[in-house]
Amino acid sequence: MLAPTRALRTHASLNRTIFTSASCFESLPTKQGVAAPIAQGDFVRPRSDGQGISAQVKTPIARATNPPGLVEYGTEQSPNFATTWSPSQRPKSEAMKGPRFEQTDYRFQPQPLSAMELINNHPIQMTTKRAMGLWVILDKPGPKACPYCGIRYQRVSDDDDH
């Protein structure tokens, strides 16, 4: 038996390469027609649209929702404050959605009171100091709230006869 020559081995490997990679190119677009649908999991080379690379396959993004049978219980922010208290805060009805809260029974969840009501009822702390801590500077007249806890401080000036 004769050993195959280098040319024969190269020719055989070229044929094998052409036949094996031909199936990969069946789904790519050609000048004659539109590309066939690509099976999920196949690699798709990204297309360049001039501004950058855009994906050819759009992947749907799931939206976080609660099951329709779940009773929305206690979706206000707290029992004593119904709305959000800062512009960046999401409402409780939006924040408590998705798979983490799917089987949550809101009747058994804690409903803490908003501390805003407690701080609002707390009287303004009068002081003779120029600064209360590091962040509450009392140079200007009027009460100033601590950015951490919200307690209000006001400086008693020497000019006041009260």
Residue 117 located in a structural domain: no
Q: In Å, what is the CA distance from 90 to each residue of 40, 111, 119? A: 36, 17, 22
- Kindly give the confidence (pLDDT) of every residue in the chain, 162 residues in length, as a single tens digit, with 9 standing for 90 and above: 556 566 656 655 555 544 444 444 455 555 555 555 555 666 666 666 666 666 566 667 767 666 555 555 556 788 888 888 888 888 887 877 777 877 777 777 788 888 888 888 899 999 998 888 878 888 889 999 988 888 999 999 766 555
Q: What does the pLDDT look like over 136-152, one tens digit per residue? A: 888 889 999 988 888 99
Q: What is the pTM of this model?
A: 0.41
Residue 27 located in a structural domain: no
Cα–Cα distance measured from residue 142 to residue 29, given in angstroms and rounded to the nearest whole number: 72
Residue 100 located in a structural domain: yes
Q: Are residues 106 and 143 in the same domain?
A: no
Q: Are residues 108 and 68 in the same domain?
A: yes
Residue 4 located in a structural domain: no
Residue 13 located in a structural domain: no
Are 120 and 85 in contact, with CB atoms under 8 Å apart? no
Residue 129 belongs to domain spanning = 122-155
Q: Is 146 exposed, middle or buried (0-12, 13-18, 19+ CB in 10 A)?
A: middle
Residue 26 located in a structural domain: no
DSSP output for 71-133: -----SSBTTB-S-SSTTPPPHHHHS-SGGGTT--GGGS--PPPHHHHHHHSPPEEESSSEET
Residue 92 located in a structural domain: yes
Q: How many domains does the chain have?
A: 2
